[in-house]
C-alpha cells in the first residue's frame, strides 16, 4: 500500500558552478568543509559533480561539461547559484506514482541512478519554481 | 582564540514565494511536511517567514510584505525560487571577523536577531553567487 510522500531529510542542496575546483577551494577556505571531496564525471548528465558534507546534510556542486547541457543553460541564464534541492523519501517508485496522481509533472517517471542514489526529478512548474530531486532513502548517499 | 569558520550544519534552505500559505499547503500535500507551521511577520525585513522541518534540517519560506523589499525584487527579477542557504557556525561574531579578514564582503558586520537565531548574511559576490546566511549554533532554532 502506498502512503503519502513524506520528505524525510534534506539530502543536499545543489549549486551550479562554472569551476568545481574553485568552488571546492572556496568552501574549504571560507567554511572549512569538503576536505578530500572528489568530483566525478556524470557523462549522461554532461556534468561533473561532488557532494560536500555539512553536518547531517550536504551541498552538491555541479559543473557543466558540455555547453548544451541543462546546467550550462541554467548558468548562462541565471548565473551560478542554487540549482535544485534533494529530499530523501521512502519507496521512491511508489511515491512518484502518488505524486503523478496528484498532478505533479515528473521529469523522471521512474527512479534512475544518480550521484546520490536512486533518484528522480520533479518539474519546477509543479513545485513553486524550485527544481526538486527525490532520492530513495534506502539508497541515499550521505 | 579564533579558529577557522566551520559550517557545522545546514540550518535551512530559504525559498522566496509570493504566497506563503499556498507554499505551505503545497509542501504539506506533496511532501507531508509543515503541519502546524505558523508564519510570522518580520517587520524590519518586510517579509513573512516560516520554518518547515524536514528531518534534521529545514526549508524556510519567505514572502515579501512590501513591494520595495529585497525579497520582492528577487521574485520580480528571478521568479519564485531558492533565495539563500543558512549554515550553522560556532561563535558567529568571531567568524564574521575572520571571514572579513579573508576579504569576504559582509552584509551584516555583526550578528543580529533573525528568525533562526543570531544571524548574519554574506554577500553573494563573495560566495559564488549564492546568498549565504550564518547562524550562531548556540542560538539556532531547529
**Residue A6 scores a pLDDT above 80:** yes
Residue A7: its chain B contacts at CB < 8 A?
31-33, 54-55
- Give a yes or no: residue B34 inside a domain: yes
pTM exceeds 0.80 for this model:
yes
In a domain, A92, yes or no: yes
- Assigned C-alpha cell, A64: 557543466
Q: What is the mean pLDDT of each run of 10 residues along chain B (142 residues)?
A: 76 97 96 93 93 95 95 94 96 96 97 95 95 96 84
Domain-located, residue A141: no
Task: Give the model's pLDDT for residue B45.
Answer: 87
Question: CA-CA distance, B85 to A65, in Å (whole number)?
Answer: 25
Residue B4 neighbours by CB under 8 Å, 6+ apart: A32, B98
Determine the Cα–Cα distance for residues A38 and A22; give it in Å rounded to an integer: 13
Binned at pLDDT 50, 70 and 90, residue A141 comes out as confident
Q: Is B75 on the interface with A (CB under 8 A)?
A: no
Distance CA A18, CA A39 (A): 13
| Residue A16, domain member (yes or no) | yes
- CATH number of the domain residue B77 falls in: 3.10.180.10
Alpha-carbon distance of A136 to A51, in angstroms, equals: 17
Q: What is the ipTM of this complex?
A: 0.94
Nearest-CA residue of chain A relative to B89? Answer: A31
Distance from CA of B43 to the nearest CA of A (A): 24
Yes or no: say if B19 and A67 are a contact pair by the CB < 8 Å rule. Answer: no
Structural domain contains residue B3: no
Helix, strand, coil percentages (3-state) for chain B, rounded to 5, are 25, 35, 40
Instruction: Answer whether residue A3 is part of any domain.
Output: no
Residue at A142 is within a domain: no
Residue A128 has what DSSP assignment? T
Please give the residue range of the domain that contains residue B77.
Answer: 9-136
Cell of B81: 525560487
CB proximity A57 to B under 8 Å: yes
Closest of B1, B17, B7 to residue B80, by C-alpha: B17
C-alpha cell at B136: 550562531
**A89, part of any domain:** yes
Percent of chain A with pLDDT over 70: 97
- Provide the number of structural domains found in chain A: 1
B30-60 pLDDT, tens digit each:
999 999 899 999 988 899 999 999 999 999 9
Q: What is the pLDDT of residue B2?
A: 54
Amino acid at each position: 500500500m502506498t502512503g503519502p510522500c513524506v520528505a524525510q531529510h534534506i539530502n543536499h542542496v545543489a549549486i551550479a558552478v562554472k569551476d568545481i575546483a574553485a568552488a571546492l577551494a572556496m568552501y574549504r577556505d571560507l567554511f572549512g568543509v569538503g576536505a578530500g571531496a572528489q568530483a566525478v564525471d556524470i557523462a549522461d548528465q554532461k556534468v561533473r559533480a561532488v557532494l560536500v558534507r555539512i553536518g547531517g546534510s550536504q551541498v552538491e556542486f555541479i559543473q557543466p561539461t558540455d555547453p548544451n547541457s541543462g546546467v550550462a543553460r541554467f548558468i548562462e541564464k541565471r548565473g551560478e547559484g542554487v540549482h535544485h534541492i534533494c529530499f530523501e523519501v521512502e519507496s521512491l517508485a511508489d511515491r512518484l506514482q502518488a505524486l503523478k496522481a496528484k498532478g505533479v509533472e515528473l521529469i523522471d517517471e521512474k527512479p534512475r541512478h544518480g550521484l546520490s542514489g536512486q533518484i528522480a526529478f520533479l518539474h519546477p512548474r509543479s513545485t513553486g519554481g524550485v527544481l526538486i530531486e527525490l532520492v530513495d532513502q534506502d539508497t541515499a548517499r550521505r
